[in-house]
Amino acid sequence: MDKLGDLIKHSRIKKTADDQVKDLPIVGPESIARQFYSELTAVIPPKTQSDRTGFTRVMLFLLDGVQTKKFTNDIFEKALILAREAAGPKSRNPAAVFMQLMKQELGYAMESSKHTIQS
């Protein structure tokens, strides 16, 4: 699929037929969140600082959801699907449409923006 999908696939624990855990490279949710942001800005190029801030807050909201087990890593792919939908050919303001879809579909709320990614 894409880089985000590859990261998510590698973040899952795999078991062999005899229930032994395979030794796979672990990709943390922070790496997936950073890749999500990169792909989101490719789908909907931010036109203003407000767009960039909103996208960062969405990324942090999703990351917090994954870290608190509210969501799985697959939530990033779902959000990108919403972004592609918002960026459709008839959309005059795809960033605003995306934010509205995030609120309706995933319960996005701005107060989640207090979270940060640890370097």
117/94: higher pLDDT? 94
Q: Residue 105: inside a domain, yes or no?
A: yes
**What percentage of the chain exceeds 90 in pLDDT?**
62
Q: Residue 46: inside a domain, yes or no?
A: yes
How does pLDDT run across 70-113, given as a tens digit for each residue?
Answer: 999 999 999 999 999 999 998 899 999 999 999 999 999 876 44
Note down the domain range covering 73.
3-11+26-114
Nearest to 83, CA basis, from 102, 65, 70, 64: 102
Number of domains observed in the structure of the chain: 1
C-alpha to C-alpha distance for 95 and 84, rounded to whole angstroms = 11
pTM here is: 0.75
Amino acid sitting at position 13: I
